[in-house]
Amino acid sequence: MGVIVTFDHAAFVAIYPQFASLSQPQVLQGALPVATLYCRNDGGGPVTNAATQTTLLNLMVAHICQLMYGANGQAPAGIVGRVSNAAEGSVSVQADFPVTPNNAWFMQTQFGAAYWQATAAYRTMRYIPGPRRAVTPWLNQ
């Protein structure tokens, strides 16, 4: 049903250079296994296009890297959403982004927010009709 792709660390770093300072073990043994818990990459998921699956997997790995390690060796931080209020004295910034209990974890980074938006089509109900049965109530008497 779905597609399996191979994670390419060099391509990942080329797309997301802010994670170039992370070692391969941090990405491959740290972030990738966690990312595949959220972005299924075993052929059983709903994504049937390899390019789409690669993009989604890379976004999820970037999201996990940002949460676990931060970018460019910096502590995990950042704002996702529209700046709705800013002050200058004692520096205060507020961001407004629609968050629900379902998407709150994804909205912590820009990569998670992009992943959430990109997977919207895969989070809808899929109806698979069962076999058609002929009902003959007069036979049950």
Burial of 2 (0-12, 13-18, 19+ CB in 10 A): middle
The DSSP line for 74-102 is: PPS----SEEEEEETTTTEEEEE----TT
Higher per-residue confidence, 48 vs 135: 48
41 confidence band (pLDDT: 50, 70, 90): very high
Q: Please list, residue by residue across 73-100, b when 16 or more beta carbons sit within 10 angstroms of its beta carbon and e when fewer do.
A: eeeeeeebeeeeeeeeeeeeeeeeeeee
Grade residue 139 by pLDDT with cuts at 50, 70 and 90: low
The answer to whether 130 and 139 are in contact (CB under 8 A) is: no
pLDDT of residue 86: 76
Q: Map out the domains of the chain as residue ranges.
A: 9-74+103-140
In this model, does residue 8 exceed pLDDT 80?
yes
Note the pLDDT tens digit of each residue in 103-133.
888 888 899 999 999 999 998 877 778 888 7
Residue pair 129/122 in contact by the 8 Å Cβ criterion: no
Mean pLDDT score across all residues of the chain: 85
